[in-house]
Amino acid sequence: MAEPDGLGEIRVPGSFELLYQRDYAAVVGLVYGMTGSRWVAEDLAQEAFLRAHRDWVRVGDMASPGGWVRRVALNLARSRWRRLRSETMAKLRVTSHVEVSNPLPDSEVEVFWTEVRRLPSRQAQAVALHYLEERSVAEIADVLGVAEGTVKALLHQGRERLRRQLRAKGLVDEI
């Protein structure tokens, strides 16, 4: 049911609001992993939820509206990242005196996500969903809209490539 939110005709359907409250932080974190910018992550997460809200009649009936939002957010991240990366980097540099410049605690963690972002996009998305949200193969398949077998392959290839990249940087041990 729609509930007034104090902004005149703007109404937020109740079940949508629940989804937003429950999943917002997770979607921001997910997009952060894919973009490296909290500023961009918040922007894209909000855009993904906006799209869900606009199309809530349809999205709300889906088996996994949260998965739909994540898929939209990941697609937004993929298509917009190239456009925003240069600008965002510059802005982060400009605003380096504020917290947003490096929200990750360790350089090795930062390098990890940098290397994730160098993976082919589908592999990167699967890896992010796996390690960041601890999603199962079936859940990742639902979010990415691919078969479970494809997810297994993406995860295998992504992890192997990532392992090599991190090993080359001396961040992980040789097997």
Residues between 51 and 70 that touch other proteins (CB under 8 A): 51, 53-59
Q: Alpha-carbon distance 114 to 128, whole Å?
A: 12
Task: Write out the E strands in the chain.
Answer: 2-7, 10-13
Count of beta carbons in the 10 Å neighbourhood of residue 174: 4
Residue 169 near other proteins by CB under 8 A: no
Are 145 and 67 in contact, with CB atoms under 8 Å apart? no
Instruction: Report 104-163 residues binding other proteins (CB under 8 A).
Output: 104-106, 108-109, 112-113, 118-122, 127-128, 130-134, 159, 161-163
Task: Write down the least CB distance from residue 90 to other proteins, Å.
Answer: 4
Distance of CA 65 to the CA centre of its chain: 15
Task: Write down the least CB distance from residue 102 to other proteins, Å.
Answer: 10
> Three-class SS of residue 99?
helix
Task: Write down the least CB distance from residue 65 to other proteins, Å.
Answer: 12
User: Considering beta carbons, is residue 33 or 66 the nearer one to other proteins?
Assistant: 33
Six-digit token string for 8: 């005149």
Instruction: Report 76-105 residues binding other proteins (CB under 8 A).
Output: 76, 79-80, 82-83, 85-87, 90-91, 93-95, 97-98, 100, 103-105
